[in-house]
């Protein structure tokens, strides 16, 4: 639709960018919203319907024209690799940068790949063709020693190491110093779950349990439940029900049918079941807050 592009999201994990799906026109919008192409180190493609990947050959070509040297990881179904090999083979194209392809077809539900700052888990979605959901989880930060503890007690280096290993520490009077006076516990790692496209499917709930933010496709409103099921897409009620059952903190809906001029109806239906719901729109930028309760 005018002003509304197909699926593509950029997840910024400590300035390392993950591009999730790459519909037609993605590179135009990456420029429009000021995304630095070179920071994109990983591209995840959920499935091979055109609205999720047709922008990819063009984007990879642009990376080459820009003289990219940095390696690029792409995770997708095996046929995506065949398709890219075919498209590039036709033109004798050899990219200026190494591409590492991760074949989702070889992965078992719940498998994940470690990218250092974050890891990506994969789980199957029920759609008309093979499709995969993603769970991106930040690396667990380490426990830190409190500055005020060091200043007051002036422990030896070896003692600090022992405290960080979880050992007890006693002051000069032989009194044990409580751990909370010595250590700063790291925030729990944040996670982002991406679910597109799928029919209503409870079997994904264990994979996305407690995610900080869940994106779940919401193609139709609840009056069109029958066509959603037939076309293997989800309704507002489906998405909100999955969010509630998985106990996620926030739900982001998107992938609206072109019959809707605005997502208002879908949003209000979803909020009725899961109040912490937001509606995706082109250019929307969200922060995933660090959980409190440290
Ligand atoms: Zn699809
Ligand atoms: Zn789609």
Is the separation of the CB atoms in 207 and 135 below 8 Å? Answer: yes
Cα separation, 87 vs 66, in Å, equals 19
DSSP state of 38: G
d(CA 131, ligand 2 centre) in Å: 10
Q: What is the pLDDT of residue 293?
A: 42
What spacing in Å lies between the alpha carbon of 217 and ligand 1's midpoint?
Answer: 10
Catalytic: 51?
Answer: yes
21, 51, 238, 287: the catalytic one is 51
Cα(134)–Cα(113) distance, integer angstroms = 11
Q: For residue 195, report the distance from its CA to the centre of ligand 1, in Å.
A: 11
Please give the distance, rounded to the nearest whole angstrom, from the Cα atom of residue 167 to the centre of ligand 1: 52
Each residue's pLDDT expressed in tens, for the chain with a length of 294 residues: 778 999 999 999 999 999 999 999 999 999 999 999 999 999 999 999 999 999 999 999 999 999 999 999 999 999 999 999 999 999 899 999 999 999 999 999 889 999 999 999 999 999 999 999 999 999 998 899 999 999 999 999 999 999 999 999 999 899 999 999 999 999 899 999 999 999 999 999 999 999 999 999 999 999 999 999 999 999 999 999 999 999 999 999 999 999 999 999 999 999 999 999 999 999 999 999 987 543
Q: Distance between CA atoms of 186 and 255, rounded to whole angstroms?
A: 35
- Identify which ligand lies nearest to the alpha carbon of 130: 1
User: In angstroms, rounded to a whole number, what is the distance separating the alpha carbons of residues 180 and 184?
Assistant: 7
| pTM for this model (two decimals) | 0.92
pLDDT at residue 1, rounded to an integer: 75
Q: What is the pLDDT of residue 292?
A: 56
């Amino acid at each position: 639709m005018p002003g509304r592009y197909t699926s593509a999201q950029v997840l910024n994990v400590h300035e390392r960018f993950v591009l999730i799906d790459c519909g037609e026109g993605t590179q135009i919008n990456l420029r429009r919203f000021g995304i630095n192409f070179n920071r994109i180190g990983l591209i995840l493609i959920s499935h091979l319907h055109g609205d999720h990947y047709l922008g990819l050959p063009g984007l990879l070509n642009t990376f080459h024209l820009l003289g990219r040297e940095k390696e690029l990881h792409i995770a997708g179904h095996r046929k995506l690799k065949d398709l890219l090999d075919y498209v590039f083979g036709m033109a004798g194209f050899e990219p200026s940068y190494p591409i590492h392809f991760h074949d989702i077809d070889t992965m078992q539900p719940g498998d994940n790949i470690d990218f250092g700052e974050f890891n990506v888990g994969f789980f199957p979605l029920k759609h008309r063709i093979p499709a995969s959901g993603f769970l991106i989880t930040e690396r667990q930060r380490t426990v830190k020693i409190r500055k005020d503890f060091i200043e007051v007690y002036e422990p030896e280096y070896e003692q600090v190491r022992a405290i960080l290993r979880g050992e007890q520490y006693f002051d000069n009077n032989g009194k044990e110093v409580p751990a909370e006076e010595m250590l700063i516990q790291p925030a729990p790692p944040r996670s982002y779950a991406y679910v597109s496209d799928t029919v209503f499917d409870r079997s994904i709930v264990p994979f996305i349990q407690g995610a900080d933010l869940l994106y779940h496709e919401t193609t139709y409103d609840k009056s069109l439940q029958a066509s959603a099921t037939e076309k293997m897409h989800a309704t507002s009620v489906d998405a909100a029900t999955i969010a509630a059952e998985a106990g996620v903190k926030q739900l982001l809906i998107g992938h609206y049918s072109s019959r809707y001029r605005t997502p208002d109806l879908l949003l209000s239906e979803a909020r009725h079941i899961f109040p912490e719901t937001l509606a995706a729109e082109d250019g929307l930028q969200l922060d995933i807050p660090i959980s409190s309760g440290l």
